[in-house]
Structure 1
Amino acid sequence: MPDLGTHRATITAELRTFPELTHAPGGDASAPVRRVTAPTGDRLWLVTSYALGRTVLGDPRFSRAAAVAHGAPRLSDITPASSAMTSMDGPEHARIRRIVAGAFSTRRAEALGPLVERLTDGLLDGLAAQGPPGDFVTHVAAPLPLSVLCGLLGIPDEDRDRFRSSVDVLFDINARSPAEKTRQRLMLVHYMTTLIERKRRCPDDGLMSTLIRTRDGQGALSEHELVNLGLALLMAGYETTVGQIGLTALALLTDHDHRLTLRARGAWTPAAVEEYLRLVPATPLSFPRVALQDVPLGPVTVRTGEAAVVSLAGANTDPAVFPDPDAVQETRPPHLTFGHGAHRCLGAHLARLQVATAIGRSLVRFPGLRLAPGDASVRWTSGLATRGLTRLTVTW
């Protein structure tokens, strides 16, 4: 059997340390707000405190629009377009968000529950047929979010591989050149533009057709905003959810005591889901925000034009808010995995549903589910955009 303690230590190291960020010489690496240097060479403030993180994420003095403006401090070369919903502030952001909010409501997510269960069960059939052992990422964690999102938006089955390969390039901050990422980004824009024209001619019940009708009938979106919104919904909901399912599975499989508790109860509870979302966020760092004016932030003042980024993984394990932070305790304050404030993740309910279903159905289908022997059973992918796994070999 693999050394489960080693795997748990690796999870902690991957999620709470950022080798891409360089701390200022002589600085206090444990300070709740501290200076770091990004791979771009830009200096930013890294916030690890829960309370101060909520301030950065929720205070309108910290701007997302300013963070994507020319010359703003960058965390990486992955920068959303200025017309993307995640790059807007105030009324413009609220206008776009209102258009799609209903499709990602709690009620809508609950309505998708039976579909997500059917998809998950079919993927688990494939895992069972292939193994044991089998790769949980390849057979479950990766295909489930893609199927759910493509079904929700109305993306044809034959287009899914093209989308997945392009997104893999864009989220890889280390191994791909800026030129290759630009090429893939242009390919995705061209694809979405073509898809919109196809759906104008042959509309369906998917969300993209609904957005097109909103654009054409009410003029609530520009054509450019429509293209960006379609891409944002696909990209934001795919990579992070793949990572979240894989990380949650790994964390649970290396938490022997909690697995015994779950078996005794016979239930994978909503509170347990929230704890693993808190402990292993697939997006460990927020998007940067730029201060529109001088803002006191704990022990420092973030000056006008300076950028701050929140360590969601650090805030989620702030001992001032989460005593014994590494323990799974099913009564906790709200975590920051899905963000906070106006930019809180629109797809939080849908992501939570997929994580809960994928893990819950797996535990029922394979009561003896465990990591396969050998260190090669777990392979990590890392970067400032997301954390996740490229392989999670399991047996039962």
Structure 2
Amino acid sequence: MGERVYPFPARPFAGEPPELPEGPVFRARLPRGDLVWIVTGYEEVRAALNHPLLGRDLTARDPHMGVEASMTAALRDRTLLLDGPAHAQLRRLAARPLTAVQVAGLRPRIRILAGRLLDGIEETGPPADLVARLAFPLPLAVLCDLLGIPARDGPAFRRWADRMTAIEAVSEEETLAALATMFEYLTERLQDKRKHPGQDLLSAWLTAQEADDRLTDTEIVQLAFSVLFAGYESTAAAISACIYGLLRHPRQLGLLQASPELLPDAVRQLMRTQLATPYYRVLVARGDFRLAGVSIRRGEGVMPLTWAAQRDPVWFPAAGSFDLRRGGGSAPDFVFGHGPHACLGAGLAAVMVETALAELLRRFPGLHATVPLHTLSWHTDRFPGGGLRHLPVHW
């Protein structure tokens, strides 16, 4: 008898956790047709994210999603999308301009950018779609500002990202064309920064050094791509999902408005309890091993579901409920990943989400959805972001 293979997700995603079969590891088929092992238990997900035989080498024809399925011929030199010592060294160099102190210093600028977007929403008047008017424009504006890229070029990045995040609707040729165009554009901007350096990431990466090691131009361009691609899509999805989560819980929303100092904990809890996407990155087995009694073979894909791990009742009692008074819990969560590929820009993403919510609630205390929340539709055709397609609100 052959192994049971489950379609994943089994039903269209609607902001709620998909139904999962029993057991912490099961075989599943993804929308593109790839077979993977899906991991759900807290201990098992943590083990997978740290396993020495699980990696994410995008230079190989392995199971991937979205643009990752088409990038294998485009990557050169070291990249954050590989594994091993070279990846670790690259992370250290890339992280130098993204310390906690430096990210904290960006808060005033992020607040200004959020305020400008909310000014436009207020001037236009209700109703407003917060996905189109806030969730997507804010992280794009922040990341372009951070990289030293002109704001006028932001719409071009949005078009390229739309092609690169599609799971099924865009051909591999279209994906690679968008990727090549973005790389060409970033290479031109990098040459500009070499001649006219500024207070931005591209300029900082040009001077980043560890002993005799420096970043090559190709590595810097790939880093900039990673920041824009992963940071923009995922943060936009998180902003819309967090607003949705607050609107679903009006009492918690009222408590947060009365006690805005709770916002950092609220954002962490919202990002843990309110899904923006059912997916996580696919890792690939570099050898045979067993996980939770299941034999995983070399070359097979493994998707650790961090959101499912964070609903493990052993570690997170009443895990699906959103309660600002509950506190952080006894176990580390996986909101920004875990292990060697934990999100490099986690601090920046958290600041963007916190600022978006803080300024939105301060400006529009009477915020409410104009349609029943359960009627809203979600992106199931994009990776890594996901998130709502629209979020119409009044105030």
TM-score range with shorter-chain normalisation? 0.7 to 0.9
Conserved 8 A contact 2:12-2:380: no
Gaps of 5+ in 1: 1-9, 19-27
Q: Distance in 2 between matches of 1:372 and 1:281?
A: 21
Structure 1 residue 87, shift from structure 2 partner: 2.1
Identical pairs, percent:
34
Alignment match of 2:171 (pick from 177, 181, 198): 177
Query: Which residue number in structure 2 is paired with residue 72 of structure 1?
Result: 62
Q: Where do 1:106-185 residues align within 5 Å?
A: 106-185=100-179
1:394 maps to which residue? 393
How far, CA to CA, are the matches of 1:48 and 1:13 in structure 2?
19
1:103 is matched with 97
Distance 1:266 1:287, change over 3 A: closer
Residue of structure 1 equivalent to 2:8: none
In 2: Cα distance, 1:146 partner to 1:77 partner? 18
Indicate which of 280, 287, 292 corresponds to 1:298: 292
Could you tell me which residue of structure 2 aligns to residue 343 of structure 1? Answer: 341
Residue 327 of structure 2: aligned partner: 330
> 1:190 — aligned with what?
184
- Counterpart secondary structure, 1:87: coil
Query: Tell me, what secondary structure is at the counterpart of 1:380?
Result: coil
Q: CA deviation at 1:219?
A: 5.6
Whether the 8 Å contact between 2:233 and 2:384 is mirrored in structure 1 is no
Which of 249, 258, 270 is 1:255 aligned to? Answer: 249
Structure 2, unmatched stretches of 5+, are 1-10
User: Cα distance, 1:375 vs. partner?
Assistant: 6.8
What's the offset of the Cα at 1:210?
1.9
Residue 53 of structure 1, aligned match among 22, 45, 50:
45
Q: CA deviation at 1:37?
A: 1.7
Q: How does 1:219-238 map to 2 (within 5 A)?
A: 220-238=214-232
Q: Deviation per CA, 1:344-374, whole angstroms, max 9, x where unpaired? A: 0001000101111111221111111111135
SS at match of 2:302: strand
- The normalised TM-score by structure 1 is 0.87
* Counterpart residue number, 1:34: 26
152-161 or 284-293, which moves further after superposition?
284-293
Contact 2:15 / 2:276 at 8 angstroms: preserved in 1?
Answer: no
Task: Tell me the amino acid that sits aligned with residue 229 of structure 1.
Answer: L
Once the two structures are TM-superposed, the CA of residue 267 in structure 1 deviates from its matched residue by 4.2
Is the Cα contact below 8 Å between 1:167 and 1:235 reproduced in 2?
yes
In the alignment, the residues of structure 2 paired with residue 86 and residue 282 of structure 1 have an alpha-carbon distance, to the nearest angstrom, of 23
Q: How many angstroms apart in 2 are the aligned matches of 1:140 and 1:203?
A: 30
Query: Partners in 1 of 2:262 and 2:137 — Cα distance?
Result: 22
Identify the match of residue 206 of structure 1 among 196, 200, 204: 200
Instruction: Find the aligned partners of 2:117 and 2:374 in 1 and give their Cα distance.
Output: 23
Q: Describe the shift of the 1:184–1:296 C-alpha distance in structure 2 as closer, same or farther (beyond 3 A).
A: same
The residue type paired with residue 371 of structure 1 is A
Q: CA deviation at 1:204?
A: 1.8
User: Separation in 2 of the partners of 1:187 and 1:69?
Assistant: 19
Q: 1:367 aligns with which of 365, 370, 375?
A: 365
Match of residue 63 from structure 1: 55
* Aligned-partner residue type, residue 81 of structure 2: S
The count of residues paired between Structure 1 and Structure 2 equals 375
**Structure 1 segments of 4+ aligned residues over 6 angstroms from their partners:** none
CA 1:77–1:106: 2 relative to 1, 3 Å? closer
CA spacing shift, 1:64–1:373, aligned 2, 3 Å = closer
Whole-angstrom distance in 2 between the partners of 1:40 and 1:382? 12
**Quick one: distance in 2 between partners of 1:364 and 1:268?**
14
